[in-house]
Amino acid sequence: MLQKCIKCGKTYDVDEIIYTCECGGLLEIVYDYEEIKNKISKETLRKRQIGVWRYLEYLPVKDERKIVTLFEGGTPLYRCKNLEKELGVKELYVKNEGANPTGSFKDRGMTVGVTRANELGVEVVGCASTGNTSASLAAYSARSGKKCIVLLPEGKVALGKLAQAMFYGAKVIQINGNFDDALEMVKQLAREKLIYLLNSINPFRLEGQKTIGFEICDQLNWQVPDRVIVPVGNAGNISAIWKGFREFEATGIIDELPKMTGIQAEGAKPIVEAFKRKAKDITPYKNPETIATAIRIGNPVNAPKALEAIYSSGGYAEAVSDEEIVEAQKLLARKEGIFVEPASASSIAGLKKLLDEGIVDRDERIVCITTGHGLKDPDAAIRASEEPIKIECDIDVLKKILKED
């Protein structure tokens, strides 16, 4: 097991605390896949409880006693028959990551990232966040007794997420700047070794998130979807999920791969623009803006990994407007009973748009990832809903209302 630069191929020991290569390239964790293949089979995996740690041999942990867990993963993969009818597709699933312990997919990353921090003997962890990363890191650092510092863009973090970070006991610092500014600041703290950084630039964190790909195969009885659609912000998740599929292929668990499809918001779409230019580099946005605050990111650190995932899987990247996001959020809640935060609904909005554009075939088996719980952002949900009806305590008035549509 090593850390390897995706740009120049240089390798580093896993115990070296380093976030990018000397050449500036992003790092990823590589394993001896033949060794994993000899240890693991579908049957052995199935004997264990579903969740991130079912896939232990694929995870960068040396000492199991150091694992910090809140029982993350094992999230539902819903077949969505009502949406299939509504959108005119043959087979549609939603992988609902809002069902994780703190309500987002970040918990998969943090169980592994904070376990690594434990193994390294780190005492102070930190991150920049649009909300979910901070909520999750605050919870896992509380559980492992570490000090936690989170930097947030003031006024742009959904209420539920802010409440979580504060309540789990993190030191919460709001900056007069956006997420990208906050990330630059915590990267500086990490370079000076004042914190162990647990944003997705840390390759160990992404190892936990790749288990979304593992679980999708597992829950589809080892079949592989034609396409996986993922909301994209800092671009770690789409890269991680793709790595999961590739590793299952490398170890003989699956023999096909899905088309990775990333969705961004119109006001923050540097990856979509790069994809449409067929480029490998992005042009960052200085002032990203969208109702989907979780993906209000102008300079995604994992852009090279995400673009590689999209290009080499034959996938696609598209942007959706705030109106399309809210419409999709409502559709998912009202047709399937699944309440997600706005950023999460971009995968559904993106699917609808790509079907209309003829990019996605109606016969495909599709999995949309919904990344965070709807209760994270109650303000957005209330703004998008009809006002409750107010009446006096009058039974006749109530009966009259009951008869209305």
Ligand X SMILES: Cc1ncc(COP(=O)(O)O)c(C=O)c1O
**295 in contact with ligand X (CB under 6 A):** yes
8 Å CB contact between 380 and 158: yes
Judge whether 371 is annotated as a binding position: yes
Q: Could you give the dihedral angle defined by the CA atoms of residues 74, 75, 76 and 80, in that order, rounded to the nearest 10 degrees?
A: -140
> In angstroms, rounded to a whole number, what is the distance separating the alpha carbons of residues 14 and 29?
8
| Collapsed DSSP state (helix, strand, coil) of residue 79 | strand
Question: Contacting ligand X (CB under 6 A), which of 73, 236, 270, 374?
Answer: 236
Provide the phi-psi class of 15: left if phi over 0, else alpha when psi is between -120 and 50, else beta: alpha
Q: Which is nearer to ligand LJ64HWYM, 111 or 132 (CB)?
A: 132
Q: How far is the CB of 84 from ligand LJ64HWYM (least distance, A)?
A: 29
> In angstroms, rounded to a whole number, what is the distance separating the alpha carbons of residues 259 and 240?
14
Nearest to 200 by CA among 76, 82, 112: 112
**264 in contact with ligand X (CB under 6 A):** no
Provide the phi-psi class of 76: left if phi over 0, else alpha when psi is between -120 and 50, else beta: beta
> In angstroms, rounded to a whole number, what is the distance separating the alpha carbons of residues 73 and 380?
26
In the list ligand LJ64HWYM, ligand X, none, the entry touching 232 (Cβ below 5 to 8 angstroms by class) is ligand X
Q: Which is nearer to ligand LJ64HWYM, 199 or 370 (CB)?
A: 199
**Site of interaction with ligand LJ64HWYM (CB under 6 A):** 106, 127, 129-133, 179, 199-200, 233-234, 236, 294
Walk across the sheet containing 171-175 and list its strands.
Answer: 171-175, 147-153, 124-128, 196-197
CA distances to 27, 225, 282, 316, 387 from 228, rounded to whole Å, are 23, 7, 22, 10, 35
Q: How far is the CB of 370 from ligand X (least distance, A)?
A: 8
The count of residues interacting with ligand X (CB under 6 A) is 18
Task: Give, as ranges, the residues between 119 and 178 that touch ligand X (CB under 6 A).
Answer: 130, 132
In the list ligand X, ligand LJ64HWYM, none, the entry touching 371 (Cβ below 5 to 8 angstroms by class) is ligand X
| Collapsed DSSP state (helix, strand, coil) of residue 263 | strand
Question: Contacting ligand X (CB under 6 A), which of 111, 118, 200, 219?
Answer: 200
Q: How far is the CB of 270 from ligand X (least distance, A)?
A: 12
In the list ligand X, ligand LJ64HWYM, none, the entry touching 129 (Cβ below 5 to 8 angstroms by class) is ligand LJ64HWYM
In the list ligand X, ligand LJ64HWYM, none, the entry touching 231 (Cβ below 5 to 8 angstroms by class) is ligand X
Q: How far is the CB of 108 from ligand LJ64HWYM (least distance, A)?
A: 11
Q: How far is the CB of 181 from ligand LJ64HWYM (least distance, A)?
A: 13
Nearest to 61 by CA among 49, 71, 69: 69
Name residues whose C-beta falls within 8 Å of residue 143's C-beta, 6 or more positions apart in sequence: 68, 70, 114
**298 in contact with ligand X (CB under 6 A):** no
Question: Contacting ligand X (CB under 6 A), which of 231, 267, 298, 350?
Answer: 231
> In angstroms, rounded to a whole number, what is the distance separating the alpha carbons of residues 266 and 154?
22
The tokens for 184 are 């630059």
In the list ligand X, ligand LJ64HWYM, none, the entry touching 151 (Cβ below 5 to 8 angstroms by class) is none
Q: Which is nearer to ligand LJ64HWYM, 167 or 398 (CB)?
A: 167
> In angstroms, rounded to a whole number, what is the distance separating the alpha carbons of residues 203 and 146?
20
Question: Contacting ligand X (CB under 6 A), which of 237, 251, 290, 299?
Answer: 237
Judge whether 69 is annotated as a binding position: no
Segment interacting with ligand X, rule: CB under 6 A, options 111-119, 213-221, 228-236, 245-253: 228-236
Q: Which is nearer to ligand LJ64HWYM, 251 or 299 (CB)?
A: 299
Q: Which is nearer to ligand LJ64HWYM, 251 or 329 (CB)?
A: 329
Q: Which residue has the tokens 């998740």?
A: 237
Question: Contacting ligand X (CB under 6 A), which of 343, 354, 360, 367?
Answer: 343
Walk across the sheet containing 91-96 and list its strands.
Answer: 77-79, 91-96, 365-370, 227-231, 259-265, 316-320
Q: Which residues make up the interface to ligand X (CB under 6 A)? A: 104, 130, 132, 200, 231-237, 294-295, 341, 343-344, 371-372
Annotated binding site for pyridoxal 5'-phosphate: 132, 233-237, 371
